[in-house]
Structure 1
Amino acid sequence: MAEPRAQLPEEVLALIFRHLSLRDRATAAGVCRAWAAAATYSTVWHDTNVSCDSEPEGMLSPYLSSCLDHIHNLRLEFEPSREPSRRAATTLLTALAGRAQGLQGLCLECHGEKPLFDAGSDVLDAVHAVCQAARALRHLDLRRLPFTLNDALVLQVARGCPELCSLFLDNCTLVGSVGPDSVLKLLVACPRVRVLGLHLASLSRATLEALAAPDRAPFALLALRCASPEDARAPALPDEAWAALRHRHPGLAVELELEPALSADTVRRVLQPSVPVTALRLNLSGDTIGPVRFAAHHYAANLRTVEVRAAASAELDAALEELATRCAGLREVHCFCVVRPAVLGAFRSHCPRLRSYTLKLTREPHPWRPTLVA
């Protein structure tokens, strides 16, 4: 049988191997010397996805260990309630901390439920170690971690990652423990940050003013999640501070996610007219009609995505129709209750850029799938 090298150049093999799972890469590396060389090309490992659910055992083989230096962007999936999956994730992160000089992007994604009475200290300690060593880290995405993040982690990112460009801390947790002072210190230490995801309680007027400073690099996206009791108690951010930020960064997009923990008063404090909201997700236990109408009147120029979870009513239908007539730039609208045909007709008629929608006219089994616009 001819050597595989005679069939394909190593550069081509490397492009193929980059799409294989870790187990399949290791298998390919054992075929012959040519395949082993191709499987260790830096291009194979530059962007690496690892699922600890499918490859929990023996993941840190000598083959993988020898390639950690080549990983620039890592997306790591695991299930914290399953001990083998969780152990594999922490083992990989701990090993990466010692070889993280070239790491530029880290995204952690959890599946399933987190264990009860568990603060995730082992996983967060491993992330802390990575951030301590990864001086070139530019992108850190922790929004899919179910654990409570803290000031110590944010301050370590500030000390250890001066090249940081994007940071997502707006994760699904019932407790917000990242204080606004830590976020402010992060912005001072990392002047290149242009994308930031936070809980509302982590944001302050001083942070908005720091982002609006004349010497600040262009700021592109602020994702705000308002879901915890700390968010509900957060002080109001004045509209003039938002207006100054918007003036300093005219291309700024703000994504707002409002959850049931918020009272009507808190919602009114959050929905300031000058906030350049491009995506609005409403999952409120109280009034939803008022926020929809507010968005129609104040966010029409920027609004691109709307998601509403509420009980069906004629008043909500009327508010959605008004939203459709005022927000011609909408590209996605998803309403998780039955609406009348006039609502669907309004969005189809007045929103020419609409790409997908979830607007059901009759009850259907969940999950509801969006309709794509041709």
Structure 2
Amino acid sequence: MAEPGEQLPEEVLALIFRHLPLQDRAAAARVCRAWAAAAACSAVWHDTDISCCCAQEGMLPPFLSTCLDHIRHLRLEFEPSKEPSRRVATELLTALAGRTPGLQGLRLECRGEKPLFDAGRDVLDAVRAICRAARELRHLDLRRLPFTLDDALVLRAARGCPELRSLFLNNGTLVGSVGPASVLELLEACPRLCTLGLHLASLSHPALEVLAAPGRAPFALLALRCACPEDARAPALPNEAWAALRRRQPGLVVEVELEPAMPAESVTRVLQPAVPVAALRLCLSGDSAGPVRFAALHYAATLRVLEVRAAASAELDSALELLAGRCARRTASAWCGPPCGTPSSRTARACAATRSN
């Protein structure tokens, strides 16, 4: 602790201030000139978390505008159903688009109740503005947005962010509005993209061929969410295309999330034998034992995580035991929870599909 009259070095103050929430940083900046300088230095703002709660209604600190250029990675949390919170978040994103071409990572997270269907237009317009301005953007995570994402956003990212490495669009929307053509243009425009989260309906056979093309940079993760009516109607992706992709990208990991909107016939189209599934999350309104048994037969060499929300049954127990036996030489984990849409008290029997060699 510094003696009275002494001042901690600016780099030490910056190390402390970087762990403070936004309002506390603003308070620290008002203490003295030395603290104001430390609170505004780039080390404090390189990785920034901002929560736009209603208590902050229109209270973005004035000194924040001088610090926007220093932000490289931003996680922004807000409540879209509450107008003041959404307004502050939108204002911040708009200001960020106009001030910081050096932004490299943006993650948006919504809290609280889901907003009205069209309540996200202002936020998505601001995200598109950032994609237009931030040429160095490498990571964009929109998984926690409840809004319907569209082709315009994906195309803006494709044309404005050539350095993109990861993009997550597999959010909780009720309507899938990102077409396969937009995703194909994204893959062709962003050759370094190695992590992609999509709704199933946004993925196509030509996209798999682009990922499997000679000279394509290693692709690490493909996260597929199957939750919309469009996902249920999506055509099957040929097993041969998955096999070719797996040969070309041996390090590829696929995560699959199946939700109640997927009928049994759609599930069988999604779960192709050659898909290198590492995580399988099942929250189906119908049969769950069948997909678990399929995973045991075809994914035992790659599966790391299995999550099942379903009613307990002898068939499901049998399928889990088969999976555990197939994964006996590897470490995997399985978790069974309450069925989708049922009270939490009606839990399924937990089954550990974990066996170590």
Is the structural similarity TM-score above 0.5? yes
Hey, what's the Cα distance between the residues in 1 that align with 2:259 and 2:85?
30
CA spacing shift, 1:194–1:339, aligned 2, 3 Å: same
Q: 1:25 is matched with which residue?
A: 25
Q: 2:341 is matched with which residue?
A: none
Percent of aligned pairs with the same amino acid: 74
Hey, what's the Cα distance between the residues in 1 that align with 2:57 and 2:333?
41
CA spacing shift, 1:143–1:339, aligned 2, 3 Å: closer
Retained in 1: the 8 A contact 2:159–2:189?
yes
How far the C-alpha of 1:62 sits from its partner, in A, is 2.2
CA spacing shift, 1:4–1:180, aligned 2, 3 Å: farther
Match of 1:85, SS state, is: helix
How far the C-alpha of 1:263 sits from its partner, in A, is 1.2
Spell out, residue by residue over 1:134-178, the C-alpha distance to the aligned partner (whole angstroms, 9 max, x if none). 000000000110000000010000111010000000000110000
Spell out, residue by residue over 1:171-227, the C-alpha distance to the aligned partner (whole angstroms, 9 max, x if none). 001100000000000111111100000000000000000000111110000000001
Pairing of 1:29-44 with structure 2 (within 5 A): 29-44=29-44
Hey, what's the Cα distance between the residues in 1 that align with 2:155 and 2:46?
27
Pairing of 1:73-152 with structure 2 (within 5 A): 73-152=73-152
Task: Output the aligned Cα RMSD.
Answer: 1.7
How far the C-alpha of 1:236 sits from its partner, in A, is 0.6
Hey, what's the Cα distance between the residues in 1 that align with 2:5 and 2:196?
46
CA spacing shift, 1:5–1:117, aligned 2, 3 Å: farther
Spell out, residue by residue over 1:68-126, the C-alpha distance to the aligned partner (whole angstroms, 9 max, x if none). 00000000000101111111100100110101211000000001222234241111111
Hey, what's the Cα distance between the residues in 1 that align with 2:253 and 2:24?
41
CA spacing shift, 1:59–1:191, aligned 2, 3 Å: farther
Hey, what's the Cα distance between the residues in 2 that align with 1:198 and 1:4?
57
TM-score (norm. length: structure 1) = 0.89
Q: Which amino acid in structure 1 is aligned with residue 120 of structure 2?
A: G
How far the C-alpha of 1:7 sits from its partner, in A, is 3.9
Q: Which amino acid in structure 2 is aligned with residue 68 of structure 1?
A: L
Hey, what's the Cα distance between the residues in 1 that align with 2:307 and 2:87?
36
Q: Which runs of 5+ in 2 are unaligned?
A: 339-346
Hey, what's the Cα distance between the residues in 1 that align with 2:318 and 2:348?
10
Q: 2:337 is matched with which residue?
A: 336
Retained in 2: the 8 A contact 1:51–1:77?
yes
TM-score (norm. length: structure 2) = 0.94
Hey, what's the Cα distance between the residues in 2 that align with 1:261 and 1:245?
27
Retained in 2: the 8 A contact 1:300–1:327?
yes
Retained in 1: the 8 A contact 2:117–2:147?
no
Pairing of 1:286-305 with structure 2 (within 5 A): 286-305=286-305
Greater than 4 Å deviation, 4+ residue runs: 2-5, 337-341
CA spacing shift, 1:207–1:73, aligned 2, 3 Å: same
Q: Which amino acid in structure 2 is aligned with residue 148 of structure 1?
A: T
CA spacing shift, 1:81–1:339, aligned 2, 3 Å: closer
Give the number of aligned pairs.
347
Retained in 1: the 8 A contact 2:204–2:237?
yes
Q: 1:309 is matched with which residue?
A: 309
Residues 317-326 or 167-176, more deviating: 317-326
Retained in 2: the 8 A contact 1:197–1:223?
yes
Hey, what's the Cα distance between the residues in 2 that align with 1:45 and 1:4?
28
Q: 1:199 is matched with which residue?
A: 199
How far the C-alpha of 1:59 sits from its partner, in A, is 3.8
Q: Does 1:45 align with 2:31?
A: no
Pairing of 1:100-249 with structure 2 (within 5 A): 100-249=100-249
Q: 1:319 is matched with which residue?
A: 319
How far the C-alpha of 1:332 sits from its partner, in A, is 3.1
CA spacing shift, 1:252–1:174, aligned 2, 3 Å: same
How far the C-alpha of 1:5 sits from its partner, in A, is 8.0
Spell out, residue by residue over 1:22-77, the C-alpha distance to the aligned partner (whole angstroms, 9 max, x if none). 11101111111111111111010000000001653344332111000000000000
Q: Which amino acid in structure 2 is aligned with residue 309 of structure 1?
A: R
How far the C-alpha of 1:321 sits from its partner, in A, is 1.2
CA spacing shift, 1:244–1:4, aligned 2, 3 Å: farther
Hey, what's the Cα distance between the residues in 2 that align with 1:76 and 1:82?
15
Retained in 2: the 8 A contact 1:278–1:305?
yes
Q: Which amino acid in structure 2 is aligned with residue 334 of structure 1?
A: W
CA spacing shift, 1:34–1:265, aligned 2, 3 Å: same
Hey, what's the Cα distance between the residues in 2 that align with 1:327 and 1:216?
32
Hey, what's the Cα distance between the residues in 2 that align with 1:340 and 1:62?
54
CA spacing shift, 1:324–1:70, aligned 2, 3 Å: same
Retained in 2: the 8 A contact 1:283–1:308?
yes
Q: Does 1:57 align with 2:57?
A: yes
Residues 17-26 or 4-13, more deviating: 4-13
